[in-house]
Amino acid sequence: IFLRPWVFLRGAPAMKFLPPEGPPEVAFAGRSNVGKSSLINALIVQRGLARTSNTPGRTQELNFFVPDGYSGADGDLPPMAIIDMPGYGFAKAPKAQVDAWTEMVFDYLRGRVTLKRVFLLIDARHGIKTNDEEVMDLLDKAAVSYQVVLTKIDKIKPPAVEKLLAATEAQLKRRAAAFPEIVATSSEKGHGMDELRDAIARAVTD
Ligand code: GDP
């Protein structure tokens, strides 16, 4: 499925704009600048992405991507969808914006039956920050399974990656909905991409 080109289906700024529930979904979440766009780009070949991603305002939307070539008619639905969640953790974000983010994301997490797993991206240089913890609280509360993905591991040395993996694993132990395995990736060097594709495939077929 990752060999096919994918297309941008739609951006949903609020619940009522979500596409109807259909195929199993996985979502990607993370602080702004964590490397989410780069990772999604590295995972899937996207047609027409540049155009859509440059649209201002898209940042606060849930963006849906599906493999190309399915009509959407009965019986011809794409086998899965990937949702790019709006980044969080802008230092200067006004409280109203943070609240709007939280409300939309929590509504989506709690209400979306077809959502199989959230991949929570953590910058390998920074580790889990307070706002990541807050998002994990939301995920635990919504009882949505999530898996941590370290990004930009090319920026730290291999022993530091090992240390971070161990520390992060320990942090996840006490969390109800966290998946124990962590995927270490670098979009730049192509590290961990096959592992991540496998994790996605397992999440949607579970
Ligand atoms: P987003 O805001 O989470 O979508 O982050 P982007 O994908 O736009 O990436 C933010 C910055 O991190 C950009 O300058 C990227 O070039 C850089 N970046 C993303 N992934 C990697 C990576 O794997 N390795 C390195 N060294 N830099 C990366």
CA 11 to each of CA 7, 57, 63, 86: distance values in angstroms, whole numbers, following the listed order: 12, 10, 4, 10
pLDDT value, residue 18:
92
The residue whose CA is least distant from atom 12 of ligand 1 is: 35
Q: Whose CA is nearest to atom 25 of ligand 1?
A: 152
Residue 154 and residue 72: Cα distance in Å, rounded?
39
Residue range of the domain that includes 124: 5-205
The full length of the chain comes to 206
Q: Which amino acid is at 95?
A: K
Token readout for 12 is 């949903």
3-state secondary structure of 140: helix
State the distance from the centre of ligand 1 to the C-alpha of 163, rounded, in angstroms: 22
What is the arithmetic mean of pLDDT over 131-140?
A: 96
Structural domains in the chain (count) = 1
Tell me the C-alpha distance between 37 and 77, whole Å: 25
| CA 37–ligand 1 middle distance (angstroms) | 7
CA of 50 to the centre of ligand 1 (A): 15
37 lines ligand 1 (CB under 6 A): yes
Pocket test for ligand 1, best of 33, 38, 82 (most atoms within 8 A of CB): 38
> What pLDDT score does 58 carry?
47
Instruction: State what percent of residues in the chain have pLDDT above 70.
Output: 94
pLDDT of residue 94: 86
Q: What CATH number is given to the structural domain containing 191? A: 3.40.50.300
Asked if ipTM goes beyond 0.85, one says yes
What is the mean predicted confidence (pLDDT) over 16-42?
94
pLDDT at 52: 52
Least confident of 54-63, 78-87, 177-186: 54-63
Nearest alpha carbon, ligand 1 atom 18? 35
pLDDT at 7 over 70: yes
Ligand 1 proximity of 187 Cβ (cutoff 6 Å): yes
Q: Is the CB of 35 under 6 A from ligand 1?
A: yes
**Structure tokens given for 107:** 């509504």
- The residue with tokens 């109203």 is 96
Decide: 78 and 24 in contact? Cβ < 8 Å. no
What's residue 57's pLDDT? Answer: 45
Whether 152 lines ligand 1, by a CB cut-off of 6 Å, is yes
Alpha-carbon span 134 to 21, nearest angstrom: 26
User: Does an H or E element contain 95, and which?
Assistant: helix 95-111
Kindly report, residue by residue over 143-178, the tens digit of the pLDDT: 999 999 999 999 999 999 999 999 999 999 999 999
Q: Are strands 5-12 and 45-47 parallel, antiparallel or unpaired?
A: parallel
What 35-38 contacts at long range (C-beta under 8 Å, 24+ apart), as own/partner pairs, is: 35/121, 35/123, 35/151, 35/152, 35/187, 36/84, 36/87, 36/121, 36/151, 37/84, 38/151, 38/187, 38/188
pLDDT in tens, 46-64: 776 655 554 544 458 899 9
